[in-house]
Amino acid sequence: MKFALLFIVSVTATAYAAEPIIVADFEGSDYRDWRATGTAFGTGPAHGKLDGQMPVEGYQGKGLVNSFLGGDNATGTLTSPSFKIERKFLTFLIGGGGWADETCVNLVVNGNVVRTATGPNTTSGGSERLEPGAWDVSEYAGREAMFVIVDQRQGGWGHINVDQIVLTDDRGATPIVVPPVPVAKNVTRDLIIEKKLLHFPVKTGAKPRIVTVSVDGKVVRKFDIELADEDAQWWAPLDVSEWAGKKLTVIADVLPITSKALDSLQQADTLVDSGNLYQEPLRSQLHFSPKRGWTNDPNGLVLYNGEYHLFFQHNPYGWNWGNMHWGHATSRDLVHWHEHPEALYPDEQGPMFSGSAVVDWNNTSGFGKDGKPPLVLIYTAAGNPTVQSIAYSLDGRTFTKYAQNPVIKQISAGNRDPKVFWHEPTKQWVLVLYVETPGKQHTIHFFNSPNLRDWKLASVTKGGIDNDKYLFECPDFFELAVDGDVSKKKWILTAANSEYAIGTFDGVTFTPEVSRLTDVRGIGFYAAQSFSDIPNNRRIQVGWSQAPSPGMSFNQLQTLPCELTLRTTPDGVRLRREPVKELEVLREGTNQADSLANFRSELIEFRADIAPDQTTFFEFNLRGAKISYDSIKQEIAVNGHRATAPLINGKQKLAVFVDRTMLEVFASDGLTYVPMPFIPNPLDQSVLIGGNNGANVSKINLQLYKLKSSWTRN
């Protein structure tokens, strides 16, 4: 951190030097003589977004104060050393939560708070952009003061971002809050619905507005959206087909009087600007991403009516997190996906958070009809209170929410992400739920039900505490055969960060035998879930890849489907994952390894079986991604990120998939998985192999494939 030297000059209190004084710019590796309490601020400035956070923009230089460390439940304060007020104004950049006295910055003089400001956000859908702020402090000229950054808020927007604190005489010398453009409230436009979609103009990073959509006087949709007041950066579609021929009223809570946002609303039967759909520069070609908007956790993975259903957390109206819906896509082969309209919209119970889906083959729920088993979705409705609810479908396309929702009432404010399955030995449904209990204890609650509607608490498994993320949110729970032997099965309990436990389960209680294991050693893999109702005991998992696509009308993606198995290793029984065999359909032509020098491809599947000696170091360069293996350390490095990758029977078996925004690396025959966000240079489509310390390229059995886009059949 760079601090200007605060020195006293021999002038009167009302005489000021011309140059601004930087109180703090947070460019160093620590906070120096600032004093931190709690856990929210860590030991030094952040360099942009933290784990699990939306992109942070608007700060200056490389560093800023960001209290999202450990998530929105972390709290603390950060207090400057005493400094003398020697200029007329104190300016700063601020973002994050807008909670008075809880997510704020305070100017303290003689022990009293004389100025205060908060970030701009209190509801979902906001932006992490820092905006300029300023105080006139001339009345305190010559007096000692302290700048205090406060985070005492838990839950949504429970953090604060601050940068560039400056004393200045020239209020315009440093960015400050400018007088607002005159605004109008409850701006309204009426339309007669003539097309399937109503498109809203979006400018990512603009101030979010609350939009309400009504039909016949009834509110049917409500969401936050970064409306473009002038030219749209992209267009967000709202499906209005069910109200064809009716008058629809759109109301924006606040708009500048010069805004053209509502005037520019467009009706159409297809997406606006869809001519290059699925061919956009940063559209991943091997991984699923929605046509428009943000995606995160995969939800409700299930095989139903011969289709793999992928539901997912979706914000159709923004590039960032917010407005949580359940998006919906299906596939017949786990490779080519077709996106459908939203399955679940936010309602009076709140936004639609994560959950799962099952086929109720015996119609225990009573939702089935004419011999058709219902597809039942189980989800968290994250309002106040936060509860667990269900919806059902008989065609896999239209979904009806259960009239008597919720089926599980709030246990704590942090209860969410139900995973449900049928337990055949005890002939009952089991629901696995993350619950944060008082004291910030992460727990997994197990419930039983005969019918998916009536649930009873069966047992509780404890995980980590506070910043220990073990068994923190998004649980998955399933049984696998050890080494393919169906007479030897174990249960696996995993959560959002993919740490897992292996043990036994009797339908009521999970007894872990070994815990805190992981095979995921990369970056940006979160909240994975496995498919229900797949035959032949296959366990196929998909995770959320936190790989951004800057400048696009969509953001984030889902990982490749991977098949999970249990394998006995020298360290005990461990999870093994490998990309599903169905992906082989994307291979173009034959193995290209015999012409490596001439190989060029945007999409790559790279496989290598290495038999190294104890002095061997291999390095592969795939479109600029550097992947190396050190057989002495038994360690793999992916773009500098290192992970343990043991030799298996004296060999290292690698599989790598290269896409436009992501790498997926499978090492040690699937015992180590290293996913990695990565945007390659579009001009670099080469593959290079090298090594040192006696490396012998002839010891590599190489398979190299050009891949086709998975979107070619959409």
Amino acid in position 699: K
Q: Is 454 helix (H, G, I), strand (E, B) or coil?
A: coil
Q: State whether the Cα torsion 127-262-316-404 is positive or negative.
A: positive
* Distance from C-alpha of 629 to C-alpha of 672, rounded to nearest angstrom: 13
Q: Is 582 helix (H, G, I), strand (E, B) or coil?
A: helix
Closest by CA to 340, choosing from 325, 352, 353, is 325
Q: Is 4 exposed, middle or buried (0-12, 13-18, 19+ CB in 10 A)?
A: middle
Report the b/e string of 114-123 with b at 16+ CB within 10 A. ebebbbbbee
Report the b/e string of 270-295 with b at 16+ CB within 10 A. ebbeeeebeeeebbbbbbbbbbbbbb
* Distance from C-alpha of 352 to C-alpha of 400, rounded to nearest angstrom: 14
- Out of 72, 297, 519, 669, the active site residue is 297
* Distance from C-alpha of 479 to C-alpha of 462, rounded to nearest angstrom: 20
* CA 429 vs CA 386, 447, 452, 455, 456: distances in Å: 22, 8, 7, 9, 10
Asked if residues 40 and 67 have their Cβ atoms less than 8 Å apart, the reply is: yes
* Distance from C-alpha of 620 to C-alpha of 626, rounded to nearest angstrom: 6
Helix (H) / strand (E) containing 452:
none
Provide the CB-side half-sphere exposure for 316 (13 A, CA). 26
Tokens standing for residue 354: 């994560």
* Distance from C-alpha of 42 to C-alpha of 152, rounded to nearest angstrom: 15
Closest by CA to 475, choosing from 521, 406, 537, 415, is 415
Q: Is 453 helix (H, G, I), strand (E, B) or coil?
A: coil
Q: Is 324 helix (H, G, I), strand (E, B) or coil?
A: coil
Residues, the chain: 714
Q: Is 277 helix (H, G, I), strand (E, B) or coil?
A: coil
Helix (H) / strand (E) containing 626:
strand 625-630
Question: CB neighbours of 635 closer than 8 A, spacing ≥ 6?
Answer: 629, 642, 643, 644, 645
Question: CB neighbours of 337 closer than 8 A, spacing ≥ 6?
Answer: 288, 310, 329, 330, 331, 710, 714
Residue 53, Cβ neighbours under 10 Å: how many? 19
Among this protein's residues, is 263 annotated catalytic?
A: no
Question: What's phi and psi for 583, nearest 5 deg?
Answer: -65, -15
* CA 294 vs CA 225, 327, 408, 562, 565: distances in Å: 12, 10, 28, 23, 31
DSSP of 527-572, one letter per residue?
EEEE-BS-STT--EEEEEE----TTSSEE-EEPPPEEEEEEEETTE
Residue found under tokens 């929702």: 405
Residue 495 has what DSSP assignment?
-
| Active site residues per annotation | 297
